[in-house]
Structure 1
Amino acid sequence: MSRAPAAASPYARLVLDTMPQACRIGLALGFVRTFGVPEVATVLHGTGRLSAVPGERAKATGVAMFALIGHGPGSAAGRRVVEELRRLHDRPDITPELMHYVLACFTLCPLRLIDGYGPRPVSGAERAAAFAFHRELADALGLPPVPQPDLPALGSWMRDFEERRFAPSAAAHALWRSTGPVLAARLPAAPTPLAGVLAAALLDDPLRAALGVRHPPAPVRALAAGALRRGLRTT
């Protein structure tokens, strides 16, 4: 994993040094969240890679995001990742709006996980730096300017987008069957019988509906949340 230099942004220090495990889980959740949009799920499922080698695909996504956050989209390493991302997503069925949504998932989901389960909430400086990174990456990818003025506005746009676009799909259900165990494996100190339930418990109701995941009973959700919280606060 790349280490954040001393002069790195508060967001890079949070992701790479302060809470890397929580951020890895949050990025994985962000990736899973994109499956709720049928167009995205169809594209990802159509490549076949997530079904064949889900761990490898998830790891590659995490490595790319950590490299971008650690070095910046404008660095030599960052430009290489950006060019690869542009090549992979240069297709007519991936619109700028969909790309903006995917970037929003990768930006917001780690912060939400930390706020809910980490040893402390994300600071104001870290939130501002995360939003600055989001805008810089969108610009590097050649997307239209981010219309939202700050992180809360981005979160509101993301919720509105999901209300309009989330829907169940066979592709999303298949992707979850492949990647759910990968997400479960990243959770800290989860007992093996509980790992899958814990992963499902981290999904909210709209995403569960889109992925075709059963709603865990309240006691199971509470047990799973407690296990994750204890794990992240002791690492």
Structure 2
Amino acid sequence: MTTAYDREILQLDPVKDHCRITFLMATCVYPFDIARALELALFRTYAVPRISALLRHTGELTERTRKRYDDTDLLLSELIEHGYDSPQGQAAIENINRQHAKYTIRNKDYLYVLLTFIFEPIQWIARFGHRPLSEKERLAWFHFWRAIGVRMNIQDIHDEYAELEQFNRSYEAECFHYSNSNRCVAEKTIDLLLGFYMPHVLFRLGRPAVYALLDRPLLNALGLSGQSIWLSRVLTRALRLRGRIASALPIKNKPVMRTQLRRPTYPEGYRIEDLGPEKPTQQRD
């Protein structure tokens, strides 16, 4: 079923209009898929010991897991919903840069984390989306995140998609190794995500479903075992079925704006500059 959003995307340029295409993809065409893919992208960053060690050291993921999740989700959503050059987008990038400036982080680690935001949604939609990404959508998504990386002063962001794919593969082959910090932050995040769907007493039953969505090299680096082949197949079929059903249903007229979701972390709203480890003022612009 071709929608008004699909038709609008067809009229846009993937380079010049990449902010608008990204907005339509994330809030109108693939809101469920992109949100889930960005959640799973977190786990790939946890598979690198020096990244997971820093995350554990700050305590944000181990002691304030929900707040860290909400802060990250809101900063990314401000960029997606308003564009990186909007007042909201500029405030989000300034916040991200300020938080990262506190630590010594290798450029290739910055680049890899950025690339998870590019590749994971593209791969998720290829597997589970209600329709494949068009080349225009793929290019727009790539250019959107590349532009954000430039504004974060990340170096060596190639113009060519294929070159970044090769960097991604080489980085994972070199840097994915098990450490206790990997497992620590991964388990905290898994429990948080499961808590969105089930009570704590059922987490033991829910964890294998999360494992089923992760590939074997990633599971090994996170120290997570017990992946079930049959559960992986069942879950894959279920998500593909969901995609087919979604393609047959009328698309929502109203974009899904994640910045407008109610969150226990910020019951009275938030200000972009307050997102992060500092104590929030509980006030939204």
- Correspondence for 1:59 among 70, 78, 83: 70
Aligned runs of 1:10-89 on 2, under 5 Å?
A: 10-89=21-100
By how many angstroms is 1:78 displaced? 0.7
Aligned runs of 1:83-102 on 2, under 5 Å?
A: 83-102=94-113
- Name the amino acid aligned to 2:145: H
- Name the amino acid aligned to 2:210: A
Aligned runs of 1:148-187 on 2, under 5 Å?
A: 148-150=159-161, 152-184=162-194
* Gap change, CA 1:173 and 1:25, over 3 Å in 2: same
By how many angstroms is 1:194 displaced? 5.2
**C-alpha separation in 1, matches of 2:69 and 2:236:** 23
Aligned to 2:117: 106
**C-alpha separation in 1, matches of 2:171 and 2:112:** 8
By how many angstroms is 1:81 displaced? 0.6
Pair member with larger Rg: 2
* Gap change, CA 1:218 and 1:24, over 3 Å in 2: same
After superposition, the C-alpha distances for 1:113-141 in whole angstroms (9 at most, x for unaligned) are 11111111111011110111122101111
After superposition, the C-alpha distances for 1:93-128 in whole angstroms (9 at most, x for unaligned) are 312211111000112111111111111111101111
After superposition, the C-alpha distances for 1:158-192 in whole angstroms (9 at most, x for unaligned) are 111100111001011001110012334567xxx97
Which has the larger share of helix?
Answer: 1
* Gap change, CA 1:234 and 1:57, over 3 Å in 2: farther
Secondary structure class of the residue paired with 1:216: coil
Aligned runs of 1:181-220 on 2, under 5 Å?
A: 181-184=191-194, 195-220=206-231
- Name the amino acid aligned to 1:155: E
By how many angstroms is 1:155 displaced? 1.9
In 1, are the aligned partners of 2:37 and 2:120 still within 8 Å (CA)?
yes
Provide structure 1 residue ranges, at least 5 long, that are not aligned to the other structure.
none
Alignment RMSD: 2.3
Aligned runs of 1:137-156 on 2, under 5 Å?
A: 137-150=148-161, 152-156=162-166
Deviates more, 1:178-187 or 1:85-94: 178-187
By how many angstroms is 1:148 displaced? 4.6
**C-alpha separation in 2, matches of 1:90 and 1:233:** 44
By how many angstroms is 1:9 displaced? 2.7
TM-score, normalising length: structure 1 = 0.88
After superposition, the C-alpha distances for 1:7-56 in whole angstroms (9 at most, x for unaligned) are 75322211111111111111111112100111110111111121123222
Provide structure 2 residue ranges, at least 5 long, that are not aligned to the other structure.
9-16, 247-285
